[in-house]
Structure 1
Amino acid sequence: MIETTAEDVLGLFCTSAATRQRFDEWRTDVRRASVVPVVMAHRTRVLYGVGDADVRRVCRDTEHALGDVRRQDGESVPAIVDWHPDFAFTHTFHLCVERMGIVPTYQQFREFALEDVDGGRMLGNPARELIRRLVQEGCPEQQARAAMRWRIGNAYYGFLREIYTLVQLRLRGVDLRVHPLADALFRVDAWAGRRALSLRVGNSKFRKGVHAGRKTRTEDLLSDVLPPLQFDTIELEAATRFGVVHLPADVHLDHAAAQLIGRGQHGPVW
């Protein structure tokens, strides 16, 4: 069985003074006291067995992750737009997948976050508490709930895009690996050997719900890792259809696969 551990991530990305310092600061941060043990114990297994049909079924069967929330309402509460729970969204998504043994639809993920003990601790309870506090401060409850649905729904769609990319590149012969420690701490969506992959959406507002807080580029963050890493990017255009999972086109995936297995020129995918 293929699996990726936190030790695998550290062995690849935490080999410079800067990355070791970043890891140590995260590991000893009192705000991350409950986060560190969960992430360090995480083993990515289920995602390596997911097939194309599995992801397409989820994209077809999932409830509309944004509901009927309009963008202007979804982005109307700054405290939620800029909200980063102690457990990054990617931590909760990855744990949900491994716990359930499948890629969840949005409604399955919501059930995990609201009803599972760990899911509640990581996302459901902090989301409820933030909404409660904002309502106490005068924010209309319906507005706060709409903004939270927008925040989490966009993050869910982003995770589906990453899973689809993982599956498609593995089908194209790329031994792509993922782990929430690499994503949340080192800004690496996936990697193959010593090539780190970033999946980005051109529209900054659309990206905000997926990779908010990525002020430091992956290339800069890992620039002094030895042996040197190479960096590739799959850049998506902004979504043009509301409520539809925005997936990379085959031509982009073909190009990325050629880069990652060494047939293309070095450097970004484009």
Structure 2
Amino acid sequence: MDLDFQGVCVIETTAQDVLELFCTSSSTRKRFEGWRSDRRRTEVVPVVMAHRTRVLYRLTEADVQGVCRETEHALGNVRREVGESVPQIVDWNPDFAFAHTFHACVERLQQVPTYQQFRKFAFEDGDGLRMLGNPSKAVVRRLVGEGCSEEQARAAMRWRVGNAYYGFLREVYALVQLRLRGVDLRVHPLADALFRVDAWTGRRALSLRVGNRKFRQGMNAGRKTRTEDLLADVLPPLEFDTIELTAATAFGEVHLPTAAHLDRAAAQLKEA
């Protein structure tokens, strides 16, 4: 922790903190070195390695609830059947992972952005354009050139980015609520994007998952490699916890963990 200019203690998490905890086995070191040497990550690596998580630790419940109230609908008027109609965009990821861009935006704005603030960052700020705005526009242009209608491509991209935004907002809400419940939870985009750890406390790693009608629920759910598998050989061994939500039932509403989910998670995370 550091002190700010007023002598107030500032909590922060760095990339080095992530490496000291998770990059301690042959497999995780190999994964990190592969990411660091990947030519596609030439611009990504220095940004992520320099990132310091600070703002998220000083957010209040009112801050996050205010964003949930004030944000415009991140999916716009796009319906699922249209949003998932372009396979090249359904699973598209820019070189900068979405987590990188969201975390960078938070630290830049010194607050969690509404979706309209995030769009402004992505399409008007130099860093936002480099991380997400320009790559997303390039994909849309390419697909239109290959015969996809511009309206359909734009709608699919809105669906992709909007859902990623909602996912980040859920994670921020869980972080704030669990810290209020006495859990010293930490986050960093390197842990999220590289090791699939949404948050951690001590040697306990937390995943926040939402049931998807197209995939199985439970510990084997989703398209990504399980956190437990990625970090299985880290020593001393890590423990793993999951908050799993049912799929959202109301279109256009921020789908957040319930108090019951969070109470159970807090109790689990404070064990041992």
What is the TM-score normalised by the length of structure 2? 0.93
- 2:236 and 2:154 mapped to 1: Cα distance? 47
* 2:260 matched residue in structure 1: 251
- 1:169 and 1:64 mapped to 2: Cα distance? 26
Whether the aligned pair in 2 keeps the contact of 1:15 and 1:226 (CA below 8 Å) is yes
Structure 1 residues 203 and 213: CA distance shift in structure 2, 3 A: closer
1:91 to 94, 100, 104: 100
* 1:75 matched residue in structure 2: 84
* 1:229 matched residue in structure 2: 238
Tell me how far 1:26 sits from its aligned partner. 0.3
* 2:153 matched residue in structure 1: 144
* 2:55 matched residue in structure 1: 46
* 2:116 matched residue in structure 1: 107
2:241 alignment partner, SS class: strand
Gaps of 5+ in 2: 1-9
- The C-alpha deviation readout for 1:206-250, integer Å capped at 9, x for no partner, is 99xxxx985311001101100110000000000000011100010
1:25 to 8, 13, 34: 34
Whether the aligned pair in 2 keeps the contact of 1:187 and 1:214 (CA below 8 Å) is no
- 1:21 and 1:102 mapped to 2: Cα distance? 34
Whether the aligned pair in 2 keeps the contact of 1:3 and 1:43 (CA below 8 Å) is yes
* 2:164 matched residue in structure 1: 155
Q: Kindly indicate whether residue 17 of structure 2 is the aligned counterpart of residue 8 of structure 1.
A: yes
Structure 1 residues 134 and 69: CA distance shift in structure 2, 3 A: same
- 1:206 and 1:96 mapped to 2: Cα distance? 30
Whether the aligned pair in 2 keeps the contact of 1:5 and 1:42 (CA below 8 Å) is yes
Tell me how far 1:82 sits from its aligned partner. 1.8
Structure 1 residues 39 and 162: CA distance shift in structure 2, 3 A: same
Q: Kindly indicate whether residue 212 of structure 2 is the aligned counterpart of residue 203 of structure 1.
A: yes
The list of structure 1 runs, each at least 4 consecutive aligned residues, that deviate by more than 4 angstroms after superposition, is 204-207
Count of residues in Structure 1 that have an aligned counterpart in Structure 2: 259
Whether the aligned pair in 2 keeps the contact of 1:97 and 1:103 (CA below 8 Å) is yes
Structure 1 residues 115 and 163: CA distance shift in structure 2, 3 A: same
Percent sequence identity over aligned pairs: 78
Aligned ranges 1:160-199 → 2 under 5 Å: 160-199=169-208
2:251 to 220, 233, 242: 242
Tell me how far 1:252 sits from its aligned partner. 0.7
Partner amino acid, structure 2, of 1:16? S
Tell me how far 1:205 sits from its aligned partner. 5.0
- 2:56 and 2:214 mapped to 1: Cα distance? 28
- The C-alpha deviation readout for 1:87-133, integer Å capped at 9, x for no partner, is 00000000000000000000000000000000000000000111011
- 1:23 and 1:104 mapped to 2: Cα distance? 29
1:233 alignment partner, SS class: strand
- 2:175 and 2:39 mapped to 1: Cα distance? 33
Gaps of 5+ in 1: 264-270
